[in-house]
Structure formats: C-alpha cells, structure tokens
Amino acid sequence: MLNLLLSIFIVLSSFCSLSQNYKIIPDPTACKKELESKSKTTKTITAEFKETVYSSMFNNPINGTGLMKYKKEGKIRWEKTSPKSNIILINGSSIKMKEEGKEVSNSSSNKIAKKMQSLMVKIINGDFLNEKDFTIKYYQSKSKYKLTLAPKNYRLSMYIKSIELIFNKSTLVLDQIAMIESEDDYVVYVFSSVAFNLIFLENVFTKF
C-alpha cells in the first residue's frame, strides 16, 4: 500500500543542495505569474518519469520507471512500468487502479486514493499556486526554481511533511517532484521527454 500511495505522488533539499545553489526569492510575484501563465496555456502533458523511493523499511532505495499523461479537467494516467506494473486512472471524480494485471477493488485503498486525488491534480495543473491548501516558499538558482509546499490541512500533514517541486527556469517544465513523509521516508520523481498539448484519446484515462 505504501508503494501505491507513493506512485500517486511528488531528503530532496539535501540532494538539490549538492547540485544547485538555491536562494530564497524575497518577492515571488514574478515567478508565480510565470508558472500560472504556463499552466493556463497547458492543455495536456505527457512525460516519462524515474521514481526513487527511500524508506526506513528498505535497506536500499527502490527505483522505478513509468509514463504520465495529463489532460485538463482533472484527467491523469499514471502508469508505472517497472519494477512492477501499476496503473492509476484519474478521470474527474473517478479513480481506477490496477496492480500487476489485476484491478484494485479494495474499498479502503480507493478511499485513500480519492483523498490523494485532488492533491495530485492540483500539483500538475498548477492550482496549488493559490496557496489555499499549501504554504509555499520560493527559491531559485541560476537555472531552476524550487517551490517547497507545506500542507495546511492537518490530516494531510500527518502523511506528507512537505512537497518539493523543481522547475526549469527557461522552459518552466516541471523537472522533479519530491513527496516527503519524513527524513527517512520520501519519494523523488524525475521527469524527461516532456511534451505539451498533444492530442489524447479519451479512453487513455478510462481504460487500462
């Protein structure tokens, strides 16, 4: 179940400090406007991702790969291809999950997934920028923006301590997401081959 939840999401700050010299942005207005403008013109996104899961339960990090497709109106196909096959389909208020060839019908699993659904959609479509659900700190290096999101909802904060998003400053492409539960438990997604505004068939978000 832990791996399933991690597949739905977003310590990275230590990792980034080795490769990027980030400084806080005193007035993030311009950065926020850039990201909002990009999200408004984005109708669809497709990207490959590499997943690295760090957990106190594992001796070594677990690596995975997959493909993500997004369409406005809250539609996401999150397909993990290795080391195991997992697919999550989000189509508005509907969620379907498939693990290793079998559809997940467990009510408790679906209940948790639906609670995390809105979080996933808000991260990808840019709605998090309104700071209704998160307190946001903005940082920048020469080539990257880093946003650190702290959940305002107490229940959510018990599962996720913070979310870190890394954007390319020149293209405003989301390069990385980190979902941090604790110093020892977090997951990092690195995106590649990102393409915007391609045309998808609707069944991409409804059929496994």
Any idea what the CATH number is for the domain that residue 166 is in? Answer: 2.50.20.10
The pLDDT of residue 15: 44
Least confident of 49-58, 117-126, 196-205: 117-126
Instruction: Check if the beta carbon of residue 141 is closer than 8 Å to that of residue 62.
Output: no
* pLDDT class of 65 with cuts at 50, 70, 90: very high
**Could you tell me where the DSSP H helices lie in the chain?**
2-8, 12-19, 29-40, 107-125, 154-159
Instruction: Check if the beta carbon of residue 184 is closer than 8 Å to that of residue 54.
Output: yes
Which SS3 state, helix, strand or coil, does residue 73 take? coil
The pLDDT of residue 110: 63
Q: Which domain holds residue 37?
A: 2-205
The pLDDT of residue 196: 96
Domain count, the chain: 1
Instruction: Check if the beta carbon of residue 19 is closer than 8 Å to that of residue 129.
Output: no
Summarize pLDDT for 11-51 with one digit per residue, the tens. Answer: 333 444 445 699 999 999 999 999 999 999 999 999 999 99
Which SS3 state, helix, strand or coil, does residue 167 take? strand
> What are φ and ψ of residue 153, in 5° steps?
-75, 125
